[in-house]
Structure 1
Amino acid sequence: SIPKQPGVLGIDVGTSGTKMAFYDFEGNEIISTREEYPTYHPYSGWIEQSPEDWWKAVIRGLDTFWKRNLNPQQIVAIGLSGQMENCLLLDHSGNPLHRVLLYSDSRATQEANLIHRRVGKKRILQIFGNQIDHATTVAKLLWIKNHHPEWYHLAKTVVSGAKDFIIFRLTKHHATDPTNASTTGAMNILSRRWEKSVLEDIGLSSSLFPPITPATEQVGVVSQDASMKTGINAGCPVFCGLGDAGASQVGSGVVGSDRSHCYLGTTGWVAVVKSEYSPPQSEGLFVLSGPDLHQYLYIAPLLNVGRAYEWILGVIIGEKKRKYHEIEDLLSTIPCGSHGLFFLPYLVGERCPYRDPSATGVFFGLTDQTTDLDMIRATLEGVTFGIRQAFEATINLTKIKEIVVTGGGSQSKVWSQMIADICGSEVTVPTRSSLGPCFGAAFCALVGMKIKKDFSDIKPLLAQGRQFHPHEKNRKIYQSFFQFYAKLYPTLKPLFREKKIPMESSDL
């Protein structure tokens, strides 16, 4: 039975599903659930979701909680997290005007190039800290204005963070947090305000963007209408929370400077926390405003992490929902390097270490001796080589003493050990690794309610978890394989640009 003490609800609106968990005031997870929803691919490079699917997932998850005898009165506050860098327009009644253009959607390449010409790359970098590309919210917003002016002219608000749509549905108030706003190409990285001059230069209205609100600030309370739909008590405080990168950072306890973090979800990232700002120096590296005022999150986003693993399992085994642990023992029988098989994991293009929406996945080294397990392990190794490249873009690898790994992929012992061996660093998987952003979101509510003083109070709540040490023999083997892997993309780059493979077979 569920204990009857009060606590806080964390909601994380992810790419493949929404995770929800109820925690007591000491951060102990009392109950959790995960609700999935589809992603739509109407054309090549177009990647969309329905915001109504996000909302229905929240309602289903709460219904599960009530059926398992959680009392709505136990929830004293709500904190939220979710995927960032999306683009969704809401009308004056708060109704969605279209499906969400996800962060991985690549249709707005021409608009990104247009913004560069009008504003200039140097000015963009000075103001936003990041370059604008096809994934940036303002590029997608400009695409909508150019291709669907009827949506643009009916719009009252642009939503870039998935959690911000749920906040509106719960409270009828619009808000976003500084971490999420950092990904839009519209917020000044130093002032944490919308940059009206640039938006005007590219023909976009700054009035569409919602108030930027600190993560631990209350946005509103659950409305009577939302209470009837969800079962949560009307008047329950709702806190702004953080975009998933910031929430994952908090939820994994990576709250001090120069701490390193790796998130393994459908997509993923590597991140390093710094207390001083400097513009990113590497291609594909981004800087985001951190949860605390004078904190910056240097992050290298990866589009193909769990996505690549789920894909190869679906192709070879035919069950995309196959659990990690079911093939752990089998993968352990395959030697490092997968018998000379390499995999470039760019199934939907990539953003780091190379920004290239035209890149594709490639197996290199297939022979008549290659097995299905070789291909599965090579896929994980290819993703992990990319993780190492991403870390090298953010910080000198020799300075990394520990990598905190979270997300669903962290449940794989084989993968966690592989990260330790390939990166040559200690790897720690916290006890709440699979619910990192969800716990981070809930902790924002705990701080907002003054139950906890600040984000540093999260450290005592996190048990040590599992640790993985690099094996010297494996590290040396992977070092030589990594050097070869690093040559593959530069060699194939001109072919990615030159060859557009048709998606449909021709009629005979």
Structure 2
Amino acid sequence: MDLLLGIDMGTGSTKGVLVDAAGTVIASETVAHAVNLPRPGWAEVDAEGLWWREVCEIAARLTAQMPTGGVLAAMCVSGVGPCLVLCDADLRPLRPAILYGIDTRATAEIASLTQEFGEDAILDRAGTLLSSQAVGPKLEWVYRHEPEVFAGAAGWYGSNSYIAAKLTGEYVMDHHTASQCDPLYATRDFEWNQPWARRICRDLPLPRLVWPSEVVGTVHAEAAAATGVPVGTPVVAGTVDAYSEAFSVGVRHPGDQMLMYGSTMFLVQIIDAYHSDPTLWTTAGIEHGSLALAAGTSTAGSLIGWLQTVTGGAPFDELMAEASRVPPGSEGLLVLPYFAGERTPVFDPQARGVLAGLTLRHGRGHLFRAAYEGISFGIRQILERFDDAHTGTRTVAVGGGLRSPVWAQAVSDITGRVQEVPEQAIGASYGDALLAAIGVGLVPPETDWTKIEREIKPNPETRALYDDLYATWCELYPATKEQVHRLSR
């Protein structure tokens, strides 16, 4: 029996699955962890002490559970991203990995590089304006603030390409991850943007570009001893975890969308032609020559968790029952969910939460429903920008937030979209296993293991109400921006 090993290094845990070529899960393992927040605006991970250690632990546990006669055909690892891991010639990280958009240290570098290259030129060539999500400014930050680290580096990696190097010794980066390393990659051309990449990377070599389903090498003896994975096992490149998760649930064709309900919202849509929008991220996709749009909010489930804490910590089911009894529209209460600033589409780290229309008759249930509705209005705002590139034809919903029926229904009612919920939404590690199977030719490239369990359909009776409230919600941010910025200072 041919088996595939998929491992994903997420923000809160590392997860792994062992599956067969039909997509049946044989075994799964999870190890919880936390990121390090050493200073305000910094978010880091010990790449060797946490990521590599947990990959070794998960791989050893899963290979020990292989059934008799089972053969490990390939493995693939994804991870949070885009990240920056700087290593010496012996693949030793020289400092903790700098994480994706939640690490905002490179604000000055974002401004200086934007001025140097030009905002319009960056949008045209990279497809995405520079923000805290971009890797280029973080490389520049290390060069300016930790010159000894930069001088000692022999290579730079994302989370998954660092693990691929540890397993195989190969220095590679997948096209999708590279396309989030703005402004180093020319997304329209699927190639490094050589002049800008050389300017920022200086003497650092650029990794060899591969597609996420390509075999990059095989497991060498040292890695085999650490992981339990047999020597010579093919290693497939993998990619950023959100995109691997989208791939795992069949989001692969132009117009396909994924909504990921989590601590934040992350949205992906496949497009059929290059399209850049200053409020979105344009990236290379998973499959060869494909393109995608992405967007991410700064809060979602994290806002609900905060509300649960500050209102007394009542059980989640009790709070959902209260929110369910509140009519759509929360009786005139609107929430701007910018409690941690906002990424897409306003890209404003100084944005803050706003409650508008609050009265003495509003209770705890109103606050929860209005928060869910505010998050959902933000999703509608993003999806409308997606439609400018390619009308959404199919929306797949994944993530832990789906256990809130109030939230999921509010999204469909406010956006007007039917959401498909997969029977098995394991996450990115499942997509990694599928990429591994495709990479070694065990299954055809078009293979999709997804089975849809149910649909969440919009309620037409709430459409007019939500259209009206949405118009007012869209006015809240520009109307309060100046005052909120003064308060945030």
Aligned to 2:5: 9
* Alpha-carbon distance in 2 for matches of 1:341, 1:211: 52
Aligned to 1:406: 398
Aligned to 1:341: 333
Q: Shift in Å at residue 17 of structure 1?
A: 1.7
Q: Within the alignment, does 1:217 sit opposite 2:209 as a pair?
A: no
* Alpha-carbon distance in 1 for matches of 2:53, 2:353: 33
Q: Shift in Å at residue 357 of structure 1?
A: 1.5
Contact 1:194 1:206 in 2 (8 A): no
Q: Shift in Å at residue 214 of structure 1?
A: 1.3
Matching residue within 467, 471, 475 for 2:455: 467
Aligned to 1:504: none
Contact 2:43 2:103 in 1 (8 A): yes
Q: Shift in Å at residue 26 of structure 1?
A: 0.8
Superimposed CA distance per residue, residues 132-183 of structure 1 (whole angstroms, 9 cap, x where no aligned partner): 1233100111111111111111111222x32222222322323221111111
Q: Within the alignment, does 1:426 sit opposite 2:418 as a pair?
A: yes
Superimposed CA distance per residue, residues 17-55 of structure 1 (whole angstroms, 9 cap, x where no aligned partner): 222112110112222233221123233222223322222
Question: SS at the partner of 2:161?
Answer: helix
User: When the two structures are aligned, how many residues end up with a matched partner?
Assistant: 486
Q: Within the alignment, does 1:299 sit opposite 2:299 as a pair?
A: no
* Alpha-carbon distance in 2 for matches of 1:354, 1:233: 48
Q: Shift in Å at residue 447 of structure 1?
A: 0.7
Aligned to 1:449: 440
Could you say what the CA RMSD is over the residues aligned between the two structures, in angstroms? 2.6
User: In the superposition, relative to structure 1, how do residues 394 and 499 fare at CA in structure 2: closer, same or farther (>3 Å)?
Assistant: same
* Alpha-carbon distance in 2 for matches of 1:420, 1:115: 40
Unaligned runs of 5+ in 1: 502-508
Superimposed CA distance per residue, residues 104-148 of structure 1 (whole angstroms, 9 cap, x where no aligned partner): 211211101111121112222232122112331001111111111
Q: Shift in Å at residue 396 of structure 1?
A: 5.3
Q: Within the alignment, does 1:81 sit opposite 2:101 as a pair?
A: no
Q: Shift in Å at residue 326 of structure 1?
A: 7.4
Question: SS at the partner of 2:267?
Answer: strand
Question: SS at the partner of 1:21?
Answer: strand
* Alpha-carbon distance in 2 for matches of 1:316, 1:57: 36
Question: SS at the partner of 2:38?
Answer: coil
Q: Shift in Å at residue 234 of structure 1?
A: 2.4
* Alpha-carbon distance in 2 for matches of 1:70, 1:382: 48
Q: Within the alignment, does 1:37 sit opposite 2:29 as a pair?
A: no
User: In the superposition, relative to structure 1, how do residues 361 and 30 fare at CA in structure 2: closer, same or farther (>3 Å)?
Assistant: farther
> Percent same amino acid among aligned pairs?
28
User: In the superposition, relative to structure 1, how do residues 401 and 450 fare at CA in structure 2: closer, same or farther (>3 Å)?
Assistant: closer
User: In the superposition, relative to structure 1, how do residues 39 and 394 fare at CA in structure 2: closer, same or farther (>3 Å)?
Assistant: same
Q: Shift in Å at residue 59 of structure 1?
A: 3.5
* Alpha-carbon distance in 1 for matches of 2:203, 2:420: 42
Q: Shift in Å at residue 389 of structure 1?
A: 0.8
User: In the superposition, relative to structure 1, how do residues 50 and 376 fare at CA in structure 2: closer, same or farther (>3 Å)?
Assistant: farther
* Alpha-carbon distance in 2 for matches of 1:397, 1:340: 33
Please list, as runs of the form range in 1=range in 2, the aligned pairs for 1:32-431 lying within 5 A after superposition: 32-51=28-47, 52-62=49-59, 64-65=61-62, 74-103=71-100, 104-159=102-157, 161-185=158-182, 186-201=184-199, 203-205=200-202, 207-278=204-275, 280-281=276-277, 283-316=278-311, 318=313, 328-395=320-387, 399-431=391-423
* Alpha-carbon distance in 2 for matches of 1:293, 1:95: 31
* Alpha-carbon distance in 2 for matches of 1:22, 1:199: 38
TM-score, with structure 2 as normaliser:
0.91
User: In the superposition, relative to structure 1, how do residues 398 and 122 fare at CA in structure 2: closer, same or farther (>3 Å)?
Assistant: closer
Contact 1:157 1:208 in 2 (8 A): yes
Q: After alignment, is 204-213 or 289-298 more displaced?
A: 204-213
Contact 1:345 1:360 in 2 (8 A): yes
Aligned AA (2:473):
Y
User: In the superposition, relative to structure 1, how do residues 169 and 479 fare at CA in structure 2: closer, same or farther (>3 Å)?
Assistant: same
Q: After alignment, is 67-76 or 331-340 more displaced?
A: 67-76
* Alpha-carbon distance in 1 for matches of 2:292, 2:325: 38
Question: SS at the partner of 1:291?
Answer: coil
Superimposed CA distance per residue, residues 361-381 of structure 1 (whole angstroms, 9 cap, x where no aligned partner): 333344444433333332222
* Alpha-carbon distance in 1 for matches of 2:390, 2:274: 21
* Alpha-carbon distance in 2 for matches of 1:41, 1:495: 29
Contact 1:397 1:423 in 2 (8 A): no
Contact 2:13 2:33 in 1 (8 A): yes
Contact 1:343 1:378 in 2 (8 A): yes
